[in-house]
Amino acid sequence: MLSTYGWSDALQHDFAPHAAHGLAPARVIVQQRGRYRLATETGDVEGRLLGRFAHEAADGGYPVAGDWVAIARKGDHGMIAAVLPRRTAFTRKAAGSSQTLQVVAANVDVALLATSLNADLNLRRIERYLAMTYESGAEPVVLLTKADACADPAPLIAAVEAVAFGVPVLAVSAATGEGLAALAAYLAPGRTAVLLGSSGVGKSTLVNALANAARMATQAIREDDAHGRHTTTHRELILLPSGALILDTPGMREIALSDAEVGVAIVFAEDTEQIETLAAQCRFSDCRHGNEPGCAVREALADGRLDADRWRSFQKLQRELAHAERRDDPIARETERRRWAAIHKAARARTRSKREIDD
């Protein structure tokens, strides 16, 4: 049973200390508001957290769909005592929170980043999803869903390929089956995929098409703005007829990145190489590429050699990550406080000097 869900020799090795304490392995296949369903060697059981584990788990340490856990059997329930080390993990700052770390999915091999071929297609959001995927350690694949509803998908596909360097970009349709054969190449037996994307892009419909069954509830998008409604309210790992596993997730419109410096660097690797080359040509070695005279970066933005949208997106993500680092690191926070104090002091000095000249 567990080999069907991806159990391996490496996991057996990691589990050995727990086996010595009489615990059994299981995989989280459903996660919903603190409730779990677990796949075990003898079948599915309801899961609960042991009190000690629930009390001692670190931020982001609670089990999520895709996790391998160590359980103690208690009647019809599996009491979760520990989470095995994660091979990959998708993390973000929880919506509405500046501190809480949310793990979206764990132990995923391939991330299917879904966005529909309609008015809701957003290249900047795709960049965020790519950064999250690279940081997790999984392999990204971009899915452009609802291809049957788009008269001319070619320009949109090209636009996505331009920001997803080297990443497969597949136009798919659950209604007609277009692109599903190409997608199947990334869904090998024993591999785990996760579907990530906003509400209404057709993730659940796609899961149903791949499973040849109505496994997930679906709902039409709003016609007025092409945005979707939340239909999936939980995370569920589904075994496909091919033997692959696919994890459907609730739609995410807000993607606050957490510790994603590596992911952002990979997404913008070609841009940063171009920027570094240009920066070396700036008049000032400490140029911030703002309003400084002789800035080669600003000149490249003005004449189109450097894509302005990509530049703004890169800067925004860099600021977001820097803000998160300052918030979490007391030393960095104090350094930033002193920097702004110096800036304000200099500004006040300039104001006083100007007043004295005017007087």
Whether residue 255 is contained in a domain is answered as: no
Q: Are residue 203 and residue 308 in the same domain, yes or no? A: no
CA distance 95 to 232: 17
Handedness of CA 33, 34, 35, 40 (dihedral sign): positive
User: Is residue 317, in this structure, part of any structural domain at all?
Assistant: yes
Instruction: Please check whether residue 184 lies inside any domain of the structure.
Output: yes
Q: Encode pLDDT of 2-37 as tens digits.
A: 999 999 999 999 999 999 999 999 999 999 877 899
Q: Which residues contact 333 (CB under 8 A, 6 or more apart)?
A: 326, 327
Token couple for 240:
């496909």
DSSP-assigned beta bridge partners for residue 193: 110, 246
The most confident of 176-185, 199-208, 230-239, by mean pLDDT: 176-185
Residue 148 has pLDDT above 60, yes or no: yes
Residue 8 lies in a domain: yes
Reported as a pLDDT band with limits 50, 70 and 90, residue 351 is: low
Q: The domain that contains 154 carries what CATH number?
A: 3.40.50.300
Q: What is the CATH number of the domain that holds 311?
A: 1.10.40.50
Task: Indicate the average pLDDT of the chain.
Answer: 84
Residue 162 falls inside a structural domain:
yes
Domain final position from 67, 83, 99: 83
Measured CA to CA in angstroms, residue 293 lies from 282, 299, 302 at distances of 9, 10, 14
Q: What is the DSSP string of 147-161?
A: GGG-S--HHHHHHHH
What's the number of domains the chain is made of? 3
Whether residue 266 is predicted with pLDDT greater than 60 in this model: the reply is: yes
Joined tokens for residue 31 = 């996660």
Q: Are residues 57 and 204 in the same domain?
A: no
How would residue 318 be classed by pLDDT, with cut points 50, 70 and 90? confident
State the pLDDT at residue 222.
44
Q: What CATH number has the domain bearing residue 53? A: 2.40.50.140
Q: DSSP secondary-structure letter at 332?
A: H
Q: Which two tokens stand for residue 223?
A: 């016609």
Considering the domain architecture, whether residues 93 and 240 belong to the same structural domain is answered as yes
Q: Look up the domain containing 107 and give its range.
A: 89-248
Q: Which pLDDT band, with edges at 50, 70 and 90, does 228 fall under?
A: very low
On whether both 8 and 125 belong to a single domain, the answer is: no
pLDDT, mean of residues 115-132: 89
* 268-294: average pLDDT: 90
**Same domain (yes/no): 193, 143:** yes
Going 138 to 311 to 253 to 212, the CA torsion angle's sign is negative
Q: Write phi, then psi, for 228 (nearest 5 degrees).
A: -100, 170
Q: Do 123 and 178 sit in the same domain of this protein?
A: yes
**DSSP 3-state assignment of 254?**
coil
Does 348 reside within a domain? yes
Could you say which of 198, 215, 248 is where a domain stops?
A: 248
CA distance 19 to 251: 37
Q: How far is Cα 269 from Cα 275, in angstroms, rounded to an integer?
A: 10
Mean pLDDT of 165-171: 94
- 330 domain-assigned: yes
> Is 232's pLDDT higher than 80?
no
Does 347 lie in the same domain as 222?
A: no
**Residues 174, 234: one domain?**
yes
| N-terminal to C-terminal alpha carbon distance within the chain | 86
